[in-house]
Amino acid sequence: MTSSYRINYQLRAHKRDPLIEFIKGLLLTPFVLHAKPRKPVLNAPATPAGGHLPGTTSGLVGPIQGDDDKNDYQEEEKPMVDANLQRYLEIMKSVEGMIEEHRRKALKGVPEHSRLHRIVPSVASFFTPLPLEAAFLVANAKHSIAARRFVPPSFNDIRRILNTAQVMAIAPTLNLITFDGDMTLYDDGTSFTKSSPLIPLLITLMRAGLHVAIVTAAGYPGDAGKYEERLSGLLQCFNEQKLSEKLLEHFYVLGGECNYLFRCGWKKAETTGESVVGLTYIHPEEYQPNDMLDWKNEEIQELLDVAEENLRRSVSAMNLKATVLRKMRAVGIVPTDGVKIAREQLDECVLSTQQRLLEYQQFSGPSKVAIPFCVFNGGNDVFVDIGNKLIGVQVLQKYLGAAPDATVHVGDQFLSTGNDFATRSSCCTLWIISPEETEGVLNELTPLLTFPADSE
């Protein structure tokens, strides 16, 4: 049974998405008012000879069922479902209109004047319209939302509806699609295997002329081999299918949130000298903007020192079985001996470290550059990275010539303690929770793409 503590914990702001909660609240009204659970049809007891039930007096026996109950029993199933679907669609159409009004206000530079912003002040940017009404019909066909009498539209229902609407909207203009790694393309802590059903879908995206990039927190400074190991199954498939150099140049890996960029292509294997598909490091001067290049290493290390101090304090205070891992542009805690750290403890580390670093930057004085950072809960670890995925996506957009309304990021960490959250400010997003869901959204996307005449 779910404990009240867990319920209360899930209600905390850092575990909720305000827009999804708003839509869920709207859909709850028709569910409560109209989607009534059906009662079983009761057969009236047989009336014995004489027209009276045993133990009753003639003329005093009322209807076995009340008028309200009778109406429930005689209710037709299909009309109720159709009427309830219509109510849900009306709500989704209204939200669709609110989003479009918010976009118009944003174009005029006053997004705070929109009705949606007044209701959901933390609402993010929308770079495309969202056809929520059409997306709801797709979701209803899969999950029978309108026919449900006991389970109202859920957080996951709405999350998937938003994904479908975004896929529908962005498919005609899509130029760049970026992916998180763990729990998006492969299970947490594992590698890309040759058997993954995502591989042919990624190749299809590349053949449609899209730039495909993995934007991951994993940071191996300039070390292509480490990333090739994590993506070994994918690169082997590229190799076996003899993809052309032109096609492979559509695939990139950006590690350490935004710090280490690699391009895919054919190269000589170090051991055998034969041509294989691999990754080539791109030097920062070729793609990083000047403000990133101006980050001073001593100031980076000083920021990481503050983060490390707070993480060590958290480990000690909560008696965590974890070790602190320091890298060139990151520091984090990882569990020891296969221990599973509780989600609440991980979030405590994240939120306390965020607060400590913000205080440090606030009181550091104007002479220092406020270096961007990201603190996130990785599922069973916590890391502080220099930079973030917002900068990573923006770097790729500039380097590859992709506009925000032609870019979509796919990830699983869109709560405020996740490192995909920041990308909402620079591109469209798809919020998934597993590689299986990534497969689902790509299966929705690929039929909507237009393939160039010279595609392989």
Catalytic residues: 180, 182
Task: Name the H helices within 35-146.
Answer: 67-74, 77-107, 115-119, 132-143
Written as one string, the DSSP assignment of 185-240 is TB-TT----TT-THHHHHHHHHHTT-EEEEE-S---TT-HHHHHHHTHHHHHHHHH
Nearest to 432 by CA among 209, 130, 184: 184
Mapped onto helix, strand or coil, the DSSP state of residue 182 is strand
The tokens describing 118, both together, are 């007044």
What is the C-alpha separation between 283 and 281, in angstroms, rounded? 6
The tokens describing 169, both together, are 């909207």
Strand pairing of 382-386 and 275-282? unpaired
- C-alpha distance across the termini of the chain, in Å: 53
Amino acid occupying residue 451? F
Radius of gyration, alpha carbons of the chain: 27
Mapped onto helix, strand or coil, the DSSP state of residue 337 is coil
Would you tell me how many other CB atoms lie within 10 Å of the CB of residue 105?
Answer: 17
Residue 435 is inside which H or E element, if any?
helix 435-445
Residue 260 is inside which H or E element, if any?
strand 260-268
